[in-house]
Amino acid sequence: MRRIVLGLMVIALGAVPLTAVAAGQKSRHFTNHLLGALVQTRGSSSTYVYEVSSKQFGPGAGVLVSKSTSATTGTSRGVIYFASGSLRSVTTYRIAAEPNGVLRLTSTGRDTGLSGVFKGLHGSVHATGSQDPKTHMVTLTATGTLIP
């Protein structure tokens, strides 16, 4: 369960709107929505794929690998691809089970590599979401800031 949640965090970081990179702008806040699924599990590592929706930039796609460090925490690395650039991120996460079985996720992280219109920027992200352990589907809302 924790592996699925981890994937959400990394993607959240990558889902940054391209309008944030306009030359001469100060810090830019963003909100992105992600829908993903677990595609592979090996030991304590899990791989996820995501569809990203951004009002500022449009559609994107991402992949991430998460690694559990305990039953409720872990780290993840991922990349999001948009038409005009990509963003690599690293995050830490925490999960908690709800009474109905759904897993709640919170994560924080930073951008670690940017290309295209994202090059030269850095930023941070906070994500919240959930995972259905029966279907392995994940939903996530990511908010953050990009700084030139």
At 133 the pLDDT is: 92
Domains in the chain: how many in total? 1
User: Rounded to whole angstroms, how far apart are CA atoms 73 and 67?
Assistant: 9
Task: Give the CATH number, domain containing residue 141.
Answer: 2.40.160
At 25 the pLDDT is: 59
| pTM beyond 0.85, yes or no | no
- Domain membership of residue 129 as a residue range: 2-147
For the chain, which residues score pLDDT lower than 70?
1-25
CA 7 to chain CA mean position, Å = 7
- pLDDT tens digit sequence for 84-107: 888 888 999 999 999 999 999 999
At 23 the pLDDT is: 52
How many CB atoms neighbour CB 129 within 10 A? 25
At 24 the pLDDT is: 56
User: Rounded to whole angstroms, how far apart are CA atoms 85 and 117?
Assistant: 6
Q: Do 3 and 46 touch, CB atoms closer than 8 A?
A: yes
| Token digits of residue 32 | 């992105």
| Nearest C-alpha neighbor of 12 from the set 59, 79, 74 | 79
Q: Do 13 and 34 touch, CB atoms closer than 8 A?
A: no
Q: Do 130 and 107 touch, CB atoms closer than 8 A?
A: no
At 84 the pLDDT is: 82
DSSP 37: E
